[in-house]
Structure 1
């Protein structure tokens, strides 16, 4: 039970920091750099995902990420992040709605990718 709690608590803490990174980069790029939401969302995802994989490897899963799993995760969720931003650009949705929608999708996708693909070798 203690191992399960350690994994859950570290996953949540890293997830909160990941969200802060994602949101900050998204808003800096859309507001200050005047980029479209699609490009801003993709760039923010790339930075936040790299941060998450590194810290989850150290603290949550205590295992190295599989390269193929990381590439698959980055590709699939990168396409999703760009797609959400592109739809938001086309429909002229507010940035807060865009980043919140993608963050929720990313939270679910990241959990399943990390648990079953990226860090699958850490299962004993």
Structure 2
């Protein structure tokens, strides 16, 4: 039986909440308020990623939040989002496929980046 590390399990839980927040903000802005997809997605990313950073900082890695950590996390995740969005455009993938690819890749890659760069040195 494979047992996931405690930090990864918590990261997944926070990631699910992050996804719900992202989709909720996006759908509210785009579908209810008729804001364009670009602005809706950027706003949704900013709100959800900020939640994810602070939740992981406090409840998962138990590290003090700082501007340097915040900017490192947000910058990396934004770059990852842009890279996967670019790849989706280049490969002409349907938007929903790009969304699921980003969700999976960002979960795994984001966890390792948070663990070994943003919140490095955290005791388990």
TM-score, with structure 2 as normaliser: 0.71
Give the gaps of 5 or more residues in structure 1: none
Determine if contact 2:12/2:107 at 8 Å carries over to the other structure.
no
Distance in 2 (CA, whole Å) between partners of 1:83 and 1:34 is 26
Match of 2:8 in 1: 8
1:123 CA displacement: 5.1
Matched residue of 1:122: which SS?
coil
Determine if contact 1:63/1:122 at 8 Å carries over to the other structure.
yes
Matched, 1:38 2:38: yes
Shift in CA distance, 57/28, structure 1 to aligned 2, threshold 3 Å:
same
Distance in 2 (CA, whole Å) between partners of 1:39 and 1:109 is 25
| Bigger RCO (CA 8 Å, 6+ sep) | 1
Matched residue of 2:117: which SS?
helix
Shift in CA distance, 85/19, structure 1 to aligned 2, threshold 3 Å:
same
1:25 CA displacement: 1.3
TM-score, with structure 1 as normaliser: 0.71
1:43 CA displacement: 1.2
Distance in 2 (CA, whole Å) between partners of 1:30 and 1:95 is 15
Which moves more between the two structures, 70-79 or 45-54?
Answer: 70-79
Query: Which of the pair is proportionally richer in helix?
Result: 1
Give the gaps of 5 or more residues in structure 2: none
Distance in 2 (CA, whole Å) between partners of 1:37 and 1:87 is 18
Distance in 2 (CA, whole Å) between partners of 1:104 and 1:56 is 18
1:31 CA displacement: 1.4
Equivalences for 1:79-98 in 2 at 5 Å?
A: 79-81=79-81, 96-98=96-98
Match of 1:19 in 2: 19
Root-mean-square deviation (Å): 3.2
